[in-house]
Amino acid sequence: MFKNIVRVLLIMCIIMSCASTAKQTDATVQTSEEDFEIIQNSKGTITIVNYVGESQHVVIPSIIGNVEVTEIDNRAFSNKNLLSVFIPEGIITVGKNAFSHNSGITTLIIPNSVKTIEESAFSSNQLKSLTFGNQLTTIGNDAFSYNQLKEVNIPPSVTTIGNDAFATNPLERINIPSSVTRIGNYAFDGNNFLAIEIGANKAYVTTSVGFEESFVNFYINAQNRRAGTYVKNGRIWSLK
């Protein structure tokens, strides 16, 4: 009888201990202001310079200490084993390698406030879904290279796409608006496009940006650089 009572008490202690541990684990899922190392930049707003939290699911605050967060510094969230990240409205600049090398990030929404995504900002993740905001102007070198993107829609605010910006993705479809005036070398290298929506008379349509030769020849020679959606069927391109 006594042994049974002791056994019951031990089981209850174990259950209570597990419940306490679960609560502590749940608490670490939530990010707080203390999880972010910050500086006040020259504009008087906040720049996040490093993430020191334990959660793999990061919610970046829009305000810290009653001051607006506007910038994410170079490498602030790089190689942190993140699984997801929420970037709030108010962020204007995402720095170099800011979120690179987080193999668990598969989905990303860029808020409307972001104007510049710098070099390698989201490189070497596992992005499968990417949504851009409507004020973005610059996509830097290698910004989204080495991901798993199959489709990308560039917003009509973008003017510049840097070298290797979307290199080494399994991209099949892309929309490049007429606002884009410059595309860097190898920006689309290592992809396999089946559909390209593009504006008229674009001088950047060359093999040097990563477009395959058959598309370049069809766009320039067969279609005289006409705007539209170019679709590939087998080895043959057509304009829809």
Q: How sure is the predictor about 4, in pLDDT bands with cuts at 50, 70 and 90?
A: very low
Mean pLDDT, the chain, as a whole number?
90
Q: What share of the chain is helix, strand, coil (3-state, %, to 5)?
A: 20, 25, 55
- Higher model confidence: residue 10 or residue 112? 112
DSSP-assigned states of every residue in 22-33: HHHHHHHHS--G
CATH superfamily of 29-149+157-166: Ribonuclease Inhibitor (3.80.10.10)
The predicted pLDDT at position 1 comes to 47
Q: How sure is the predictor about 223, in pLDDT bands with cuts at 50, 70 and 90?
A: very high
Instruction: Compute the distance between CA of residue 238 and CA of residue 216 in angstroms, rounded to an integer.
Output: 12
Q: How sure is the predictor about 29, in pLDDT bands with cuts at 50, 70 and 90?
A: low
Instruction: Compute the distance between CA of residue 203 and CA of residue 225 in angstroms, rounded to an integer.
Output: 9
What are φ and ψ of residue 195, in 5° steps? -150, 130
Contacts by residues 1-9 (CB-CB < 8 Å, ≥ 24 positions apart)? none
pLDDT tens for 98-130 read 999 998 999 999 999 999 999 999 999 999 999
Task: Specify the residue for token string 């008229």.
Answer: 200
Q: How sure is the predictor about 31, in pLDDT bands with cuts at 50, 70 and 90?
A: confident
Its pTM stands at 0.86
Q: Which residues lie below 8 Å from residue 20, measured CB to CB, with a gap of 6+?
A: none
Strand pairing category for 160-161 and 57-59: unpaired
Asked which of 12-21, 47-56, 110-119, 146-155 is least confident by mean pLDDT, the reply is 12-21
Q: What is the 3-state secondary structure (H, E, C) of 3-19?
A: HHHHHHHHHHHHHHHHH
pLDDT tens for 62-85 read 999 999 999 999 999 999 999 999
Beta bridge partners of 93: 71, 116
Instruction: Compute the distance between CA of residue 213 and CA of residue 194 in angstroms, rounded to an integer.
Output: 14
Beta bridge partners of 72: 48, 94
C-alpha angle 192/144/47, rounded to 5°? 170
Task: Specify the residue for token string 């929420």.
Answer: 86
